[in-house]
Chain A
Amino acid sequence: MNSFASPQTLAALPFPSPADTLYSRVFDAILEQRIDTTSRFTEESLAQMFGARRSDIRGVLTRLSHQHVIVLRTNHRPRVAALDHEQTRQMLHARRLTEITLVRLACQQSRPQDFKPLRALIECERDCTARGPAIRLSGEFHLQLAEMAGNAPLAHFLGSLVPLTSLAIAHFDALARGYCVWQVHEALVDAVEKRDRQKAQTLLSQHLDHLEEMLLSTGLASSLNRVAG
């Protein structure tokens, strides 16, 4: 009784997945607001912008639309999703429930070999943070952590929430610095490795509180004012 509910992501399919790097580049462009909710673009123009094949761009857009970052509708141009306040609230709450369960499971299920890639990712974040906000990498950290829990459907669902959180954070570009730092990630991994459930839960919970405060209490509109937090 096994592969039901297997996530329908590109990665899970047995076909060669479109270059992950193209996905990262396009998503980065969205997170860095080079492409935003008001941008008018087509597969064609993105293909030119990224020097990629149109079919590869299409694959990337499809993947981003599964993550609700891009909205695809027949006979319409693709566009970057715009979250309203209520959707952001629901998304963050769903993320809290999902991720806390996952971290709890990770404390029980993780294997020693799981930690090496995770620590390498934190290294990467650390390097990137020196040069600017590492929003996408930070999201990837959370997804890799989720993998350790050994519950594929839950991790898959988190996979559809994390990119969306990244998008919401990007709208707060002025405040993006320090919203999710590698130091916090390091502490979280330490707790999971020591199987300290309480500590891991508390750290994650605080981290999500911080996100929630940033994304909700000020309201999305204030991001335009670039008020320092």
Chain B
Amino acid sequence: MERTVITSSTVVNSVVEKLRAALARGQWRSGDMLPGQRELAEQLGISRPSLREAVIVLETLGLVRSMPGKGVVVLEASLSDSQSHDRAVAGASLEDVLQLRYTLEPFIVGLVAQSISSKEVGQLRLTLMDMREALEANDSEAGVNAYIAFHEELFTLTSNPIFQSVVQQTSNALKQSAEVLRNSPEHLAERLEENEAVVRAIRSKNSAQASAEMRRHILREGQRMGIELNIPDDNLGS
């Protein structure tokens, strides 16, 4: 898609081209958020106003959309071929992400169970109620959103910044796999039930139980997606 880019600045032009090439290469996929303005501007070695201009151009080209207060989201691109092979190199499969979740999330909920306040438990239960309502209303999209929100809340509750990078990754992955999560409404009921078991254990401050429930949930999640996880035979590190 060649269109005239209306801009005076060569800096902006070259940045647009770089970003376009990156998008074409599948560096970011539809639904991904671009790195924050500040970060991206720094990486590209340009000023933020220039970056903003470049983003406006990309938006005009229909490649991205700015979401005020949220960031810049990559749209479904009509760019083909060159995408696939680079992806396989840099990419992560659903299985990789489940493996990551299985490794970390039981630990995360264990931590949360040790330190959670009753107000925070209330928040988790509210999110589960959203999930239940979605289930009753047969609104699978709302169900998936509540599921992702629940997942993000758990990470936030650790209040340890080292987990923030991983929650970003796994949330993106969950959003990407939302289609998989969505086409199985009957699974939403199971998912809810499993998450309720996690929250019950957290609520009674039972770390070991919370970890065990989360482990069970992720294993079941794998089964629902037809993925068999590589699980240690012993319980090393649990």
Interface residues of A (CB under 8 A from B): 1-8, 10, 12-15, 55, 58-59, 62, 66, 68, 87, 90-91, 93-94, 96-98, 100-101, 104-105, 108, 151-154, 156-157, 160-161, 164, 201, 205
**A1 & B177 in contact (Cβ 8 Å cutoff):** yes
State whether the Cβ of B176 lies closer than 8 Å to any Cβ in chain A: yes
Whole-angstrom distance between the alpha carbons of A13 and B41 in the complex? 13
**A68 & B100 in contact (Cβ 8 Å cutoff):** no
User: Which of B3-11, B50-58, B139-147, B163-171 lines the interface with chain A?
Assistant: B163-171
B44 to chain A, nearest CB (A): 6
**B39 & A62 in contact (Cβ 8 Å cutoff):** yes
On chain A, the residues within 8 Å of B150 by CB distance are none
On chain A, the residues within 8 Å of B232 by CB distance are 100-101, 104
On chain B, the residues within 8 Å of A108 by CB distance are 230
Also in contact, A87 and B35, with CB within 8 A (given A15-B18, A201-B236):
no
Q: Per DSSP, are chain B's interface residues mostly helix, strand or loop, or mixed?
A: helix
Q: How large is the interface on B (under 10, 10 to 19, 20 to 34, 35 or more residues)?
A: 35 or more
**A6 & B91 in contact (Cβ 8 Å cutoff):** yes
On chain A, the residues within 8 Å of B61 by CB distance are none
**A13 & B27 in contact (Cβ 8 Å cutoff):** yes
The contact sample of 29 A-B pairs, CB cut-off 8 A, is A2-B29, A3-B26, A3-B91, A4-B31, A4-B97, A4-B173, A4-B175, A4-B176, A4-B177, A6-B92, A13-B43, A15-B18, A66-B165, A68-B161, A93-B107, A94-B162, A96-B237, A97-B103, A98-B104, A100-B232, A101-B232, A104-B230, A151-B99, A152-B90, A153-B173, A154-B96, A157-B165, A157-B169, A201-B236
Whole-angstrom distance between the alpha carbons of A90 and B100 in the complex? 17
State whether the Cβ of B126 lies closer than 8 Å to any Cβ in chain A: no
**B100 & A153 in contact (Cβ 8 Å cutoff):** yes
**A152 & B103 in contact (Cβ 8 Å cutoff):** no
On chain A, the residues within 8 Å of B86 by CB distance are 3
**B92 & A94 in contact (Cβ 8 Å cutoff):** no
**A152 & B92 in contact (Cβ 8 Å cutoff):** yes
On chain A, the residues within 8 Å of B94 by CB distance are 1
On chain B, the residues within 8 Å of A8 by CB distance are 35, 168
Whole-angstrom distance between the alpha carbons of A212 and B227 in the complex? 34
On chain A, the residues within 8 Å of B111 by CB distance are 90
**B100 & A59 in contact (Cβ 8 Å cutoff):** no
Whole-angstrom distance between the alpha carbons of A157 and B167 in the complex? 10
B37 to chain A, nearest CB (A): 12
Cβ-defined partner of B29 (8 Å) among A3, A58, A66: A3
On chain A, the residues within 8 Å of B107 by CB distance are 93-94, 97
On chain A, the residues within 8 Å of B176 by CB distance are 1, 4-5
State whether the Cβ of B127 lies closer than 8 Å to any Cβ in chain A: no
A2-B93, A153-B173, A205-B237 are known contacts; what are 15 more A-B pairs with Cβ within 8 Å?
Answer: A2-B91, A3-B92, A4-B29, A4-B176, A5-B97, A14-B18, A90-B158, A90-B162, A98-B103, A101-B99, A105-B230, A153-B92, A160-B165, A164-B162, A201-B236
Name the 8 nearest CB pairs between A and B, nearest first.
Answer: A2-B91, A4-B176, A2-B87, A3-B91, A5-B173, A5-B169, A3-B87, A151-B96
On chain A, the residues within 8 Å of B100 by CB distance are 151, 153-154, 157
Cβ-defined partner of B162 (8 Å) among A58, A87, A100: A87
A167 to chain B, nearest CB (A): 12
B131-184: which residues lie under 8 A (CB-CB) from chain A? 158, 160-163, 165-166, 168-170, 172-173, 175-177
**A161 & B162 in contact (Cβ 8 Å cutoff):** yes
On chain B, the residues within 8 Å of A13 by CB distance are 22, 27, 43
